[in-house]
A = this chain, B = another copy of it.
């Protein structure tokens, strides 16, 4: 396998709920994902993510599981902020995926090719 990390991230994104979470953090969460000057992080809490994705008022064990799966694959980051967990998307990981598919889309031979 070319890239273990890529494979794991694609597996994480193969679940519609998890894909939805990443899209929410990246595109529908304006001003809520940034690093403060004191090193702190401001972003959507796990509960807010859950609310948006499932409509539940507080985080469910299922969404908690999905968030940790996404964090384990490197697609998001979670840090504790008081009693809440704050989630931010890892834009570098998304850019890396974009590059992976962009390279393949060229359809050019790699070093493993016969030519």
By a CB distance below 8 angstroms, the chain B residues around A6 are 19
Q: Determine if A36 is an interface residue (Cβ-Cβ < 8 Å).
A: no
Protomer copies: 2
Beyond A6-B19, A14-B14, A30-B114: 8 further Cβ-contacts under 8 Å? A2-B23, A26-B105, A27-B108, A28-B109, A28-B112, A91-B105, A97-B105, A102-B102
- Of B7, B26, B105, which is within 8 A of A16 by CB? B7
Check B102–A89 contact: CB distance below 8 A: no
A58 to chain B: closest CB distance in Å? 20
Check A19–B10 contact: CB distance below 8 A: yes
Which bracket fits the contact residues of A?
A: 35 or more
Q: What are the 8 closest A-B residue pairs judged by CB atoms, nearest first? A: A14-B14, A98-B101, A94-B105, A98-B102, A95-B105, A27-B110, A30-B109, A97-B101
29 contacts between A and B (CB under 8 A): A1-B16, A1-B20, A2-B23, A10-B10, A11-B14, A13-B14, A14-B14, A26-B104, A26-B105, A26-B107, A27-B104, A27-B110, A27-B113, A28-B114, A29-B113, A30-B109, A30-B113, A30-B115, A33-B107, A89-B104, A91-B105, A92-B105, A94-B105, A97-B97, A98-B98, A98-B99, A98-B100, A101-B101, A102-B102
